[in-house]
């Protein structure tokens, strides 16, 4: 297990770039709301703790995880965001639907990172059951939303440094 022995919430704030002038878009799936809301709260709190003003954080909701790439594309088109985080949760069920959704959203986010100069950060849990998702959305393994916000800050700083 990739998260065994790792707390997704741990990071060294001293090593992060200043995020006070950065704009972030967060695209949040409404499906598995309990989990996606916890991931969103972790990401937002981390952005705020690292200097991002609240009005520089834009939230967009989409119905499900499969719709995350489209929501992110709309934000990337605006060309005001330094990074976009897509937040979703897909839990294995009895059918292959899980595989198609996970593959589609993964390919969609990868394509956005190829097509746009705005980094799109993948904060999508793909777990076997709700207990695994809870463990990664503020439970025993920390909060993946925090980890992804840290990645967004780092990637936004990289983007900005290379634009100058």
**Tens of pLDDT along 95-129?**
778 788 889 999 999 999 999 999 999 999 999 99
Q: What's the whole-model pTM score?
A: 0.94
- Mean of the per-residue pLDDT values for the chain? 93
pLDDT at residue 10, rounded to an integer: 84
- The domain locations on the chain are 36-163
Q: Which of 23, 77, 97, 114 is catalytic?
A: 97
Q: Which of 159, 136, 152 is CA-nearest to residue 16? A: 152
Catalytic (active site) residue 33 = no
Domain 36-163 class, CATH top level? alpha beta
What pLDDT digit, counting tens, does each position of 29-74 carry? 999 999 999 999 999 999 999 999 999 999 999 999 999 999 999 9
């Amino acid at each position: 297990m990739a998260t065994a022995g790792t707390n997704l919430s741990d990071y060294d704030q001293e090593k992060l770039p200043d995020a006070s002038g950065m704009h972030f878009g967060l695209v949040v799936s409404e499906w598995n709301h309990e989990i996606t809301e916890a991931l969103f709260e972790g990401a937002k709190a981390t952005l705020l703790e690292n200097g991002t003003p609240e009005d520089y954080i834009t939230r967009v909701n989409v119905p499900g995880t499969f719709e995350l790439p489209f929501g992110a594309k709309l934000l990337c088109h605006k060309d005001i965001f330094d990074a976009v985080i897509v937040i979703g949760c897909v839990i294995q069920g009895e059918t292959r639907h899980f595989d198609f959704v996970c593959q589609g959203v993964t390919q969609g986010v990868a394509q956005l990172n190829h097509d746009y100069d705005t980094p799109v950060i993948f904060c999508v849990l793909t777990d076997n059951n709700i207990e695994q998702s809870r463990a990664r959305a503020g439970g025993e393994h920390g909060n993946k939303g925090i980890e992804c916000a840290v990645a967004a800050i780092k990637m936004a700083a990289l983007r900005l440094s290379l634009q100058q």
